[in-house]
Chain A
């Protein structure tokens, strides 16, 4: 029961994280490293959503396995705004705020994730989870 609840919550958080990462990627299109790495991380998160859907089945959960690959209908607007402001320093402050929010969201997923790590293949879990926090840390620092 507890595991089913945790899995459901983790699945929700992971899906939200995919959307956050894609939004982040589009909102900071002018920052190549943010734009690209956020998409790499979103792809990992989509893998996790699929894995969570599999993991939920034995507990009677029907969790969706797919998440959209775009940040929504406003994606072109987000990208265009980023490009328009690419020669201004101000989006740097917005970037910092976004990175802080993302870091919290990642930490939440990681924490909840600890309870079902055994369900996954060890090679994937051990490479993904600790590094994701590290990846966001590098951008906070710069």
Chain B
């Protein structure tokens, strides 16, 4: 079905009732003047511009991409295509793709051969290893590569080099999802499934503007809402989003107060005994401590902190308490906010206390922000050890060393993995001298950009950037490596509900651009990494051999891939774990109340939710000897940067429907670029009036870090709160010296103590009409 997806992002309704199958609706888009008869072949892949993992096919004609359509039989999207994906494939053919390596000479980036560029990278790496050791080298990767690429990068960083400094920009989007799952279940791994939407009678969305971030999943919810016996929605969001407008109860807490609200919801659920005591006794530990802590949070107290009526909190609790099939979903409104992990853990707690897990419609979805963030996590490119292994468990490290045939001492396990913000801090203090950035754009996406630019611009830091466009980050690099994009290479691709797709090569990359996997392996060969027997490491040499190696690394772990193969994935997408026992995959985890939480098996021994201090195995074993789910809780603390007389607004930043990340792809697609060409700021009618601003006026927003100018959009958002989309950097602007466009000029260098996810939703700002703009 062809449609104007900009005007109508969610498309026509196909209503269905509880327990029924979501009807198929195939969306498609072809280049002007073409019909399906003109297409040479259709190549299967999945959606790369958000985290939903929708199954797609790319249309190829004469060796070029000419369109896309949804896969009707795909379990994720039943044929639907998100507006970004309907048009986004055009970015592959942008005239300004990087097609040759670049090296910095006399201060300028000039074209070079692969041999020259890789020679520089390998030469500097070897010199640093000799002079300063492995900790002088760090890697910052993405949530947009394929599992083979992450696994290879993890093997090189943690195995061959032995540095602890490896993370992905998943730190910005999904670190709290992983952390919250580890705190509650001892291990990462999404408990629920998207099919829970088909069965739920209550769907609670916490800081999850699914309508914009996962538009196809929202279509699924809209179709339930349009069908018989629709579910009730609870929405927690300071903005009046499409989700909020469809919700039975909408709670709009003041930014920075999520945990107080969650503690009050738990307070009410426990006080009214909407509790599944049998489930708690069988499957959990820690209920008494949880109950004692939330006893201090009656709705009236949270009402004062969050500035919402206590009656509304009680209504929300009643909705949760009365649910028969409760699906809870969480995203950036919680993950990028103050006390992120503690708040996300309370969502897990609500489902556990209510015994709502592992059955159709009864689930938790701690969501992702990026398409392959799940692969970043499971392969260990987010710093965790490969296959959800526990860095603090010597047996797990030994197992990994044996798998890689390397010495145990080669794999860093003396401390927790270094998270992204700390990697940049090490680059700032000069202990890290080579930073290799792949498929991400920290010069726009990280907080406090003036600081990030000064770090990346240092002479003493050798910056390698591997990407498909000359991003704001690539402009600061010493070596730029041109990479192949999605559609130009093959690899495994796992979404937020553990669905593994195979994304196949449809067309050749432009010029000399190469798949990220080939670049990493080329580096390994030039560095001449060897295993214990003197054989080249990593031993694999292409996507399929890398996938087979990854399968062996995942064997016996929660994310078991051993039952999968490229051949099987060509038939259909499958949810892990998939092994001999579960050849068709696993729809829901924890069905039998059994968890991956035994002390010898779990991925993590947990952290204190307030300080982030990690527990050791003895402490974990004492609390949870039998590997049950853990009910943890923490007291509410006020954010470190609160609105004040000088900076009276609470500033939140975030993602919107037509753009993805820093617009490197979506900003190069005419339909998407024109749908939202410039940065804007959302504010309430009252705040606009108080500052003499009307729709379309130019406002200046300032924090102690910087200033941004943005056009005013008057929207439903609580008074005293400003929202800025974070997509807009400086490419394509007339005046790159101004630095008044990127939302992250304003955000703070601060992060959640447990997940280390930066706080993009907690900053105090001032706002005024920009000079001379009437």
CB distance from A40 to the nearest CB of B (A): 6
1/0 contact string of A59-91 vs chain B (CB within 8 Å): 000000000000000000000000000111101
Q: Is the pair B640, A141 in contact by a Cβ cutoff of 8 Å?
A: no
Q: Is the pair B751, A32 in contact by a Cβ cutoff of 8 Å?
A: yes
B292 within 8 Å of A (CB atoms): yes
User: Which B residues, 405 to 453, have Cβ-Cβ distances below 8 Å to chain A?
Assistant: 414-416, 418, 421-422, 425, 428-431
B637 within 8 Å of A (CB atoms): yes
A114 within 8 Å of B (CB atoms): no
B610 within 8 Å of A (CB atoms): yes
How far does the alpha carbon of A43 sit from the alpha carbon of B505 in the complex, in Å? 56
CB distance from B136 to the nearest CB of A (A): 11
1/0 contact string of A97-138 vs chain B (CB within 8 Å): 000000000000000000000000011001100111111111
How far does the alpha carbon of A98 sit from the alpha carbon of B425 in the complex, in Å? 19
CB distance from B499 to the nearest CB of A (A): 35
A31 within 8 Å of B (CB atoms): yes
| Chain A at the B interface: SS class | helix
How far does the alpha carbon of A141 sit from the alpha carbon of B415 in the complex, in Å? 5
CB distance from A6 to the nearest CB of B (A): 26
Selected contact of B418 from candidates A30, A134, A142, CB within 8 Å: A142
CB distance from B212 to the nearest CB of A (A): 30
Please, which residues of chain B bring their CB within 8 A of the CB of A87? 428-430, 458
Given contacts A123-B289, A141-B415, A142-B422, contact A131 B430 (CB under 8 A): no
How far does the alpha carbon of A127 sit from the alpha carbon of B623 in the complex, in Å? 13
A37 within 8 Å of B (CB atoms): yes
Please, which residues of chain A bring their CB within 8 A of the CB of B429? 30, 86-89, 91-92
How far does the alpha carbon of A122 sit from the alpha carbon of B425 in the complex, in Å? 38
Q: Is the pair A136, B431 in contact by a Cβ cutoff of 8 Å?
A: no
Q: Is the pair B428, A86 in contact by a Cβ cutoff of 8 Å?
A: yes
How far does the alpha carbon of A39 sit from the alpha carbon of B610 in the complex, in Å? 12
Q: Is the pair A131, B640 in contact by a Cβ cutoff of 8 Å?
A: no
How far does the alpha carbon of A122 sit from the alpha carbon of B415 in the complex, in Å? 31
CB distance from A64 to the nearest CB of B (A): 24
Please, which residues of chain B bring their CB within 8 A of the CB of A138? 415-416, 612-614
A13 within 8 Å of B (CB atoms): no
B110 within 8 Å of A (CB atoms): no
Please, which residues of chain A bring their CB within 8 A of the CB of B750? 32, 36
Residue on A nearest B622 in the bound complex, by CB = A130
B749 within 8 Å of A (CB atoms): yes
Given contacts A123-B289, A131-B608, contact A37 B431 (CB under 8 A): no
CB distance from A13 to the nearest CB of B (A): 19
CB distance from A83 to the nearest CB of B (A): 11
Given contacts A41-B611, A141-B416, contact A31 B289 (CB under 8 A): no
How far does the alpha carbon of A73 sit from the alpha carbon of B296 in the complex, in Å? 36
Selected contact of B422 from candidates A33, A40, A133, A136, CB within 8 Å: A33
Q: Is the pair A134, B415 in contact by a Cβ cutoff of 8 Å?
A: no
Q: Is the pair B611, A40 in contact by a Cβ cutoff of 8 Å?
A: yes
For the A-B complex with A91-B429, A134-B616 known, give 17 more contacts whose Cβ atoms are closer than 8 Å. A30-B428, A30-B429, A32-B421, A33-B422, A36-B640, A36-B750, A37-B612, A88-B429, A89-B430, A123-B292, A126-B289, A134-B608, A134-B619, A135-B612, A136-B613, A138-B612, A141-B416
On A, residues with C-beta under 8 Å from B are 30-33, 36-37, 39-41, 43, 86-89, 91-92, 122-123, 126-127, 130-138, 141-142
21 contacting pairs across A/B (C-beta < 8 A): A31-B425, A32-B749, A32-B751, A33-B612, A33-B751, A40-B753, A86-B429, A87-B429, A87-B430, A87-B458, A89-B429, A89-B430, A123-B292, A127-B289, A130-B619, A131-B608, A132-B611, A134-B611, A134-B615, A142-B415, A142-B418
